[in-house]
Protein backbone atom coordinates (compact mmCIF):
# COMPACT_ATOMS: atom_id res chain seq x y z
CA UNK A 1 0.00 0.00 0.00
CA UNK A 2 1.39 3.36 -1.03
CA UNK A 3 1.99 5.60 1.89
CA UNK A 4 2.58 9.32 2.10
CA UNK A 5 2.89 10.33 5.72
CA UNK A 6 3.02 13.77 7.26
CA UNK A 7 4.66 14.44 10.60
CA UNK A 8 1.65 16.03 12.30
CA UNK A 9 -2.13 16.08 11.77
CA UNK A 10 -2.60 19.22 13.84
CA UNK A 11 -0.13 21.92 14.75
CA UNK A 12 -0.49 25.20 16.66
CA UNK A 13 2.30 27.76 16.46
CA UNK A 14 2.84 31.37 17.43
CA UNK A 15 3.47 34.24 15.03
CA UNK A 16 7.17 34.51 14.22
CA UNK A 17 8.03 30.90 15.02
CA UNK A 18 9.95 28.76 12.55
CA UNK A 19 7.81 25.81 11.54
CA UNK A 20 8.85 22.54 9.93
CA UNK A 21 6.38 20.25 8.17
CA UNK A 22 7.75 16.87 7.20
CA UNK A 23 6.57 14.51 4.50
CA UNK A 24 7.79 10.98 3.78
CA UNK A 25 6.80 8.66 0.93
CA UNK A 26 7.63 4.99 0.56
CA UNK A 27 7.04 4.50 -3.19
CA UNK A 28 10.41 5.66 -4.50
CA UNK A 29 8.64 8.52 -6.29
CA UNK A 30 10.79 11.11 -8.02
CA UNK A 31 8.32 13.97 -7.59
CA UNK A 32 7.12 15.52 -4.35
CA UNK A 33 4.81 18.46 -3.81
CA UNK A 34 3.55 20.78 -1.11
CA UNK A 35 0.10 22.34 -1.44
CA UNK A 36 -2.03 24.44 0.80
CA UNK A 37 -5.79 24.07 0.83
CA UNK A 38 -8.13 26.88 1.79
CA UNK A 39 -11.94 26.97 1.49
CA UNK A 40 -13.07 28.17 -1.91
CA UNK A 41 -9.51 28.27 -3.30
CA UNK A 42 -8.88 24.61 -4.01
CA UNK A 43 -5.33 23.29 -3.80
CA UNK A 44 -2.54 25.75 -4.50
CA UNK A 45 1.00 24.61 -5.18
CA UNK A 46 3.66 26.05 -2.89
CA UNK A 47 6.81 24.18 -3.98
CA UNK A 48 7.69 20.99 -5.74
CA UNK A 49 10.75 18.84 -6.31
CA UNK A 50 11.65 16.54 -9.21
CA UNK A 51 14.72 15.06 -7.59
CA UNK A 52 16.93 15.10 -4.53
CA UNK A 53 18.28 18.57 -3.72
CA UNK A 54 16.15 20.02 -6.49
CA UNK A 55 13.27 22.45 -5.88
CA UNK A 56 11.01 24.64 -7.94
CA UNK A 57 8.62 27.39 -6.91
CA UNK A 58 4.94 26.79 -7.32
CA UNK A 59 2.21 29.40 -7.48
CA UNK A 60 2.46 30.74 -3.91
CA UNK A 61 6.06 30.27 -2.63
CA UNK A 62 6.30 33.53 -0.66
CA UNK A 63 6.99 32.94 3.01
CA UNK A 64 7.96 29.30 2.49
CA UNK A 65 11.07 27.30 1.71
CA UNK A 66 11.67 23.59 1.19
CA UNK A 67 14.35 20.98 1.60
CA UNK A 68 14.84 17.63 -0.09
CA UNK A 69 18.00 15.96 1.12
CA UNK A 70 16.72 12.41 0.58
CA UNK A 71 14.46 11.04 -2.12
CA UNK A 72 11.75 9.92 0.28
CA UNK A 73 11.58 13.09 2.38
CA UNK A 74 10.37 16.58 1.50
CA UNK A 75 10.20 19.28 4.14
CA UNK A 76 8.25 22.53 4.08
CA UNK A 77 9.64 25.36 6.19
CA UNK A 78 7.85 28.49 7.34
CA UNK A 79 10.74 30.78 8.25
CA UNK A 80 8.60 33.13 10.34
CA UNK A 81 5.03 31.96 10.69
CA UNK A 82 2.25 34.48 10.17
CA UNK A 83 -1.49 34.24 10.81
CA UNK A 84 -2.23 34.21 7.07
CA UNK A 85 -0.37 30.91 6.86
CA UNK A 86 -3.07 29.22 8.93
CA UNK A 87 -4.23 26.51 6.54
CA UNK A 88 -4.35 22.84 5.66
CA UNK A 89 -1.03 21.69 4.18
CA UNK A 90 -0.98 18.68 1.92
CA UNK A 91 2.03 16.76 0.68
CA UNK A 92 1.92 14.59 -2.42
CA UNK A 93 4.28 12.38 -4.40
CA UNK A 94 4.24 10.86 -7.87
CA UNK A 95 6.39 9.20 -10.49
CA UNK A 96 8.11 11.36 -13.07
CA UNK A 97 5.84 12.54 -15.89
CA UNK A 98 2.14 13.39 -15.85
CA UNK A 99 0.51 11.19 -13.22
CA UNK A 100 -2.03 11.61 -10.46
CA UNK A 101 0.15 10.68 -7.55
CA UNK A 102 -0.74 10.17 -3.90
CA UNK A 103 -1.54 12.61 -1.12
CA UNK A 104 -0.79 12.50 2.56
CA UNK A 105 -3.53 13.06 5.15
CA UNK A 106 -2.66 16.73 5.62
CA UNK A 107 -1.46 18.93 8.46
CA UNK A 108 -3.84 21.53 9.79
CA UNK A 109 -1.66 24.40 10.92
CA UNK A 110 -2.97 27.20 13.09
CA UNK A 111 -0.79 30.26 13.64
CA UNK A 112 -1.86 32.40 16.59
Partner 1 sequence: GENVEQHPSTLSVQEGDSAVIKCTYSDSASNYFPWYKQELGKGPQLIIDIRSNVGEKKDQRIAVTLNKTAKHFSLHITETQPEDSAVYFCAASTQTSGSRLTFGEGTQLTVNP
Pick one of 41, 52, 54, 112: the residue that binds partner 1 (CB under 8 A): 41
Of 92 and 111, nearer to partner 1 (C-beta) is 92
- Secondary structure class of 78 (helix, strand, coil): strand
Stretch that binds partner 1, among 14-22, 33-41, 61-69, 76-84 (CB under 8 A): 33-41
Pick one of 18, 50, 51, 70: the residue that binds partner 1 (CB under 8 A): 50
Cα atoms in the 13 Å half-sphere on the side-chain side of 12: 1
Contact flag: residue 61 with partner 1 (CB under 8 A): no
Q: How far apart are the C-alpha atoms of 42 and 18, rounded to whole Å?
A: 25
Pick one of 14, 16, 54, 95: the residue that binds partner 1 (CB under 8 A): 95
Q: 12 near 86, Cβ under 8 Å?
A: no
Pick one of 15, 17, 54, 105: the residue that binds partner 1 (CB under 8 A): 105
Q: 110 near 14, Cβ under 8 Å?
A: no
At closest approach, how far in Å is the CB of 62 from partner 1? 17
Q: How far apart are the C-alpha atoms of 103 and 43, rounded to whole Å?
A: 12
Amino acid sequence: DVKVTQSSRYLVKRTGEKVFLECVQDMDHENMFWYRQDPGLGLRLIYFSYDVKMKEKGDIPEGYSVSREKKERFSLILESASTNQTSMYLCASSFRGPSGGFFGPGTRLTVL
